[in-house]
Structure 1
Amino acid sequence: MLLAQGFMVRRKAQLLPEPVGARTGRAGSGPLLRVLIAGDSSAAGVGVATQDQALSGAIVAGLAHDFTVDWRLEAATGNTTRDTLNRLRQVEDPFDVAVTALGVNDVTRGRSRAQFMAQQRALLAQLTGPLQARCIVVSGVPQMERFPALPQPLAWVLGQQAARLDAGLQEVAGKFPQAHHLSTDLPDDPALAAPDGYHPGALLYDLWAKQILQVIRDQVRARI
């Protein structure tokens, strides 16, 4: 049944493009803050039309009130933790703040909790080592049982695995003083999802960004 449901979800899935718009830039005024946003399709902003409406746009707009924000988006549809790690190994510029959004593709690709934890540990080591990030917001693995596009019992099964990986993610983040795990406890309202029932819509990106911004402001005051 699960295999059949998975096949039907893939066959009927509405494939939304990544939003148009800049993926690097500078905005605002004040002290310089170098910001990296990295991850999968949710980090890339799938579900909205432009990057201004996406997670990156909301984060940059929020920080630009207090900082000169030098920002960069390194994200792509389908990225797993390992894909993102490989991508960031090609990045040379340092950052003050990093935001990650990963986990859904690790769930659907069958990563075990141990594999996911090892890859996340390597990712955080890359961010805090070569990339010098002093504040990292680690977005929790989404609660996949709440995705409108997923039927039962597939949604429940994927949700259970997502919860296992998220518990591992919290454990890994706890080993890095620069990192803060942010639980994805957002409103359970299908109307906030994108038309595909799988990605956030503009309002959900905005709500998610507000939670991230609060963590960044708290951490920046303490660390930077």
Structure 2
Amino acid sequence: MSKTETLAKIMLGPLLLMQGAYTRRITPKLPEAEGEREGLAGQGQALRLLILGDSAAAGVGALSQTDALSGQLVSRLAKAYQVCWKLWAQSGLDSQALLDRLDQHAPEPFDVALLSIGVNDVTGMLTADQWIARQQQLMKVLVDKFSVRLIVISPLPPMHLFPALPQPLRWYLGNRAARFNQRLAELAQRTDRCTLLTTRLAPVAGAMARDGFHPGPAIYSLWAEDAAQAIARHGAKSPSDTL
């Protein structure tokens, strides 16, 4: 735990807890996007795609999966590949809960996994070391159990800009998210079969969901474009053989 975070907990702990409870109580509970969570799209070289994670991966903030991350990513990839895709995501999951879910799934091969997890870890009690250890576990499971050839990691969003969060809670969670992202970048750089997305998904006016916490379709579009380009860079020749 950083000195800044330790000091903030000492000085602001009761206020942060109160603001956290208040924010959870007043923030609208938006549903996950409706629609299919697996399918086949496009023509060309076969690409087996897994999208997994928390509420953002599940499309909260979009009405349908077509406008969420999964639909927008698949539609882009389908221009060059025959995409066999699945979405394993649920609101409220943290990294440990996602590991538990993966443990319940039977082994199944994928070429690419797009991972979106961590906001619920930031708002929880994990230290940066504990969080990175769970990311390493997730990567190992994806490679060893699901034969993933490329793991595309989504960084934590800029929580210091989330309009749903009051100050100083916004600053505190934003500081944790930034520190987690720094460690995540270091992990991705030293890990084979792994790439970290770089798009800055800043919550500009009109681009977020009405809860002020989740992406809206415009942000999902930017996210999907970044992921599609990363997948193309790493697997343009033959995803099933060269990733």
Shift of 1:149: 0.4
Q: Which residue of 2 aligns with 1:75?
A: 89
**2:103, 2:16 → 1: CA distance?**
36
The alignment partner of 2:206 has SS state of helix
Contact 2:158 2:202 in 1 (8 A): no
Shift of residue 110, structure 1, vs aligned partner: 1.5
Which deviations, in whole Å up to 9, do the C-alpha atoms of 1:51-96 show, x marking residues without a partner?
Answer: 1110000110000111110000011001111111221223321100
TM-score, normalised on structure 2? 0.89
Task: Report the 3-state secondary structure (helix = DSSP H, G, I; strand = E; otherwise coil) of the residue aligned with 1:133.
Answer: coil
The structure with the larger Rg is: 2
1:175 is matched with: 190
**Residue type of the alignment partner of 2:174:** G
Matches within 5 A, 1:95-110: 95-110=110-125
The answer on 1:6 being equivalent to 2:6 is: no
Aligned partner of residue 236 in structure 2, secondary structure:
helix
Listed as ranges, the matches of 1:35-54 within 5 Å are 35-54=49-68
1:125 to 128, 140, 152: 140
For the 8 Å contact 2:128–2:179, the answer to whether it is kept is yes
Task: Structure 1: give runs of 5+ residues left out of the alignment.
Answer: none
Length-normalised TM-score, structure 1: 0.96
Contact 2:62–2:216 (8 Å) recurs in 1: yes
Partner of 1:136: 151
Give the SS at the match of 2:57.
Answer: helix
- Taking the aligned partners of 1:57 and 1:201, their CA distance within structure 2 comes to 13
Q: Is the 8 A contact 2:95 2:135 kept in 1?
A: yes
Aligned to 2:73: 59
Contact 2:199 2:226 (8 Å CA) reproduced: no
Secondary structure (helix, strand or coil) at the match of 1:58 reads helix
Moved over 4 A (4+): none
Q: Deviations along 1:170-196, whole A, 9 cap, x unmatched?
A: 222223221001135124413200000
Q: Is the 8 A contact 1:190 1:197 kept in 2?
A: no
Q: Mean alpha-carbon deviation: is it higher for 158-167 or for 33-42?
A: 158-167
Greater mean deviation of Cα atoms: 164-173 or 181-190: 181-190
Residue 12 of structure 1 and its aligned partner are, at CA, apart by: 0.3
8 Å Cα contact 1:31-1:66 kept in structure 2: yes
Mapped partners of 2:171, 2:120: distance in 1: 16
Please give the secondary structure, in 2, of the residue aligned with 1:37: strand
Residue in 2 that maps onto 1:160: 175
Segments of structure 2 that go 5 or more residues without pairing to the other structure are: 1-14
Distance 2:65 2:39 in 1: 12
